[in-house]
Amino acid sequence: MMKKHIVCFGDSNTHGACKDPADSADHGSRFNEYERWTCLLQRMLGEDYLVIEEGLSGRNCAFEDPIHEGMSGVAHITPILMSHEPVDLLIIMLGTNDTKAHFGATPVNIAGAMERLVRKAQSTLCWGGHEPKILVICPPHIGDGLYDDDAGLKMGPGCPEKSRALAKYYRQVAETTGCAFMDAEGIAEFNQIDCMHLTSKGHRCLAEALAEKVPALLG
């Protein structure tokens, strides 16, 4: 019997970027396969599931980035989903990069981009004959300490404030589109180095929360 395919579509926090080498077992720039939330979720769910990582550092919901190529989620979601067909569940965790100042997007704009991404995914012929099942995760809040280093200069001003406002609008998007919703604030923590990447504890806590939620979503 084919396993249940779970595609995890996100940014550097799905890729597993580590900004504090002391927090990683390998002391590297990426958490390893025993630390990333996607890999932890795979082990927690067991052999009946296949958890597929589709994390790209810098990815956003729907904006063409004038600095970095290929970062628009809506531009790439269809071929990614088709390559993993049949998809039983799509988990989307995006929004951190959408707050970058050079996009000029408000929280309402970012939620609109998320809705566009969700509807594109729902219309993709990858669902194996069943109704699309999508879980939208609002990332944890970007910390105010972001502006203590170069990361803050790259993101631009206003990011923490926009990040804190996203959950309300993402919840509305989920209700409008018939998706499940989870707010990762208070579940998964960001580090105190650049204040916008998960700690190893954050990865573990997110995986634990999802391991409880996913089986119910899939029935």
E-strand ranges in the chain read 4-10, 49-55, 89-93, 134-138, 180-183
* Structural tokens at position 138: 């609002």
Distance from C-alpha of 30 to C-alpha of 28, rounded to nearest angstrom: 6
One digit per residue, the tens of pLDDT, for the chain of length 219 reads 899 999 999 999 999 999 999 999 999 999 999 999 999 999 999 999 999 999 999 999 999 999 999 999 999 999 999 999 999 999 999 999 999 999 999 999 999 999 999 999 999 999 999 999 999 999 999 999 887 777 777 899 999 999 999 999 999 999 999 999 999 999 999 999 999 999 999 999 999 999 999 999 998
Q: How far apart are CA 16 and CA 174, in angstroms?
A: 25
48-52's contacts with Cβ under 8 Å and 24+ in sequence apart are: 48/3, 48/4, 49/3, 49/4, 49/6, 49/214, 50/3, 50/4, 50/5, 50/6, 51/6, 51/8, 52/5, 52/6, 52/7, 52/8, 52/84
Indicate if the alpha-carbon torsion angle 111, 115, 120, 126 is positive or negative: positive
For 84-98, b/e burial (b = at least 16 CB within 10 A) is beebbbbbbbbbbbb
Architecture of domain 4-218 in CATH? 3-Layer(aba) Sandwich (3.40)
| Closest among 42, 47, 52 to 6, alpha carbons compared | 52
Confidence at residue 124, expressed as pLDDT on a 0 to 100 scale: 98
